[in-house]
Amino acid sequence: MTAVAGAATPSRSASGSALAPNYAPLPVTLVAGEGAWVTDDAGRRHLDLLAGYSALNFGHRHPALVAAAHAQLDRLTLTSRAFDHDLLEPFARALAGLVGPLVAPGRDALVLPMNTGAEAVETAIKAARKWGYEVKGVPADRATVVVAHGNFHGRTTTIVSFSDDPDARDGFGPFTPGFRAVPFGDAAALRAAIDETTVAVLLEPVQGEHGVVVPPADYLPSVRAACDEADVLLVADEIQSGLGRTGRTLACETWGVRPDLVTLGKALGGGILPVSAVVGRADVLGVLTAGTHGSTFGGNALACAVGLAVVDLLSPGDVQAAAAERGRELGTWLDALVADGLLTGYRRLGLWAGLDVPHGTGRAACEAMLREGVLAKDTHGRTLRVAPPLTITPDDLAEALARTARALRSLG
């Protein structure tokens, strides 16, 4: 910045940073990444057990994804949706081919591309409301959506309106009406919250930000049945749980449940750029006619090139199988950590776990892990989340968990 005499200095926070203080990152500055490894500005290598909250399911700079992005950068990057481009339909077909059979039983699936996860959730809420008014016959502006306590669906004003995390909510009202929250995992409470104004139930099949909370086995099947009985859409937010994390393409498959709409994001962009989508029933997404919803960047050519390469990586099923296999290895390690008293407990599905530490905070545990060269992120209180790239090798996973054990022992 050039200093100009007499010009007002831009205001800076107490730390001297020009960044708004809406994050408190661990004290590490990364300069490079490859696979499950990252390098910091002091040249130290760390194993990445957060993987960008699952945005890096395929690791840092996966060669096939980087190649797809490079090739597309040299050809066409953005047209806006005012014009079609040659990868838009292929991307939609590929994603519908991968995810369509897992949603919308017996009907064709459509894809609506957006950018961030929060936009996909907003899109699903808008589609569900419009379907409610036009198809279900809910009186104008009366639609309700049932959600779960402890949810995390993003950061827009509407989405934080139905969060119960005071940090996410306080100071951001007035809030969007039309949401009812019930305890996660309690199908009877959910059923009781549904009435004739209810257009959708919106849930994470596994609550990621809340600490990788896995519901009881009969929960999602009961939710599906309640939705069917009351003609209510089941919207599964699989932005973090989807695309391989749980050892399956969708977490919902674990319980044999097919949502009507599913939101995808994070890993859909291959760790390269934001790509999100809603995939689901054609008769629901079909209510969004030209001009009723959109996005300048949604479905851009670069995003479609990367998204197509992501679908290619997931289509054979080996990434999901590797995640399930590494997940079992993770479970064995975590059992040992509990037996040693280094954890009070954990929850796990696939290669995704929430670990409860016996003393201190999740944050302190993450700082100890950083000292051992392994990066993770706390969620709430005494919980930290482990979600390595699905492509991590067995040796690297073992190394990461040995480092984690050393870090936890250093806290005792």
Ligand X SMILES: *Cc1c(COP(=O)(O)O)cnc(C)c1O
* DSSP state, residue 317: S
Cβ-proximal residue to ligand X, closest one: 117
Helix (H) or strand (E) run with residue 263 in it: strand 261-264
Tell me, yes or no, if 58 is annotated catalytic: no
Tell me how far, at minimum, the Cβ of 238 lies from ligand X, in Å: 7
Token pair for 119: 């936009």
Token pair of 130 as six digits: 């419009």
Q: To the nearest whole angstrom, how small is the minimum distance from the Cβ of residue 267 to ligand X?
A: 11
Q: Which secondary-structure segment (H or E) carries 353?
A: strand 353-356
CA distances from residue 165 to 155, 159, 374, 381 in whole angstroms, order as listed: 11, 11, 28, 13
**Residue with Cβ nearer ligand X (275 or 407):** 275
How far apart are the C-alpha atoms of 215 and 233, rounded to whole Å?
A: 19
CA gap 83, 3 in Å, rounded: 44
Task: Pick the catalytic residue from 48, 260, 266, 396.
Answer: 266
- Closest contact distance (angstroms) between CB of 336 and ligand X is 28
Contact 285, 106 (CB under 8 A): no
CB of 7 to ligand X, least distance (A): 36
Tell me how far apart the alpha carbons of residues 109 and 92 are, in angstroms, rounded to a whole number. 10
**For binding to ligand X (CB under 6 A), which residues are involved?**
53, 116-118, 121, 152-154, 204, 208, 237, 239-240, 265-266
Q: Which is nearer to ligand X, 237 or 260 (CB)?
A: 237
**Of 251 and 309, which has the nearer Cβ to ligand X?**
251
Quick one: tokens of 348? 């796990």
Tell the smallest beta-carbon distance from residue 120 to ligand X (Å): 7
Write down the catalytic residue from 58, 91, 152, 162: 152
Compare residues 121 and 146 and give the one whose CB is closer to ligand X: 121
- How far apart (Å, rounded) are the C-alpha atoms in residues 57 and 391? 7
Selecting among 91, 179, 237, 377, the annotated active-site residue is 237
Contact 350, 324 (CB under 8 A): yes
Nearest approach, Cβ of 5 to ligand X (angstroms)? 42
C-beta of 121 vs 303, nearer to ligand X: 121
- Please indicate whether residue 377 is annotated as part of the active site: no
Catalytic site residue 136?
Answer: no
Element holding 144 (H helix, E strand): strand 144-148
Containing 306, the helix (H) or strand (E) segment is: helix 301-314
Give the closest residue to 362 by CA, choosing from 349, 347, 343.
Answer: 343
By beta-carbon proximity to ligand X, the closer residue of 253 and 399 is: 253
Query: Which residues are catalytic, by number?
Result: 152, 237, 266
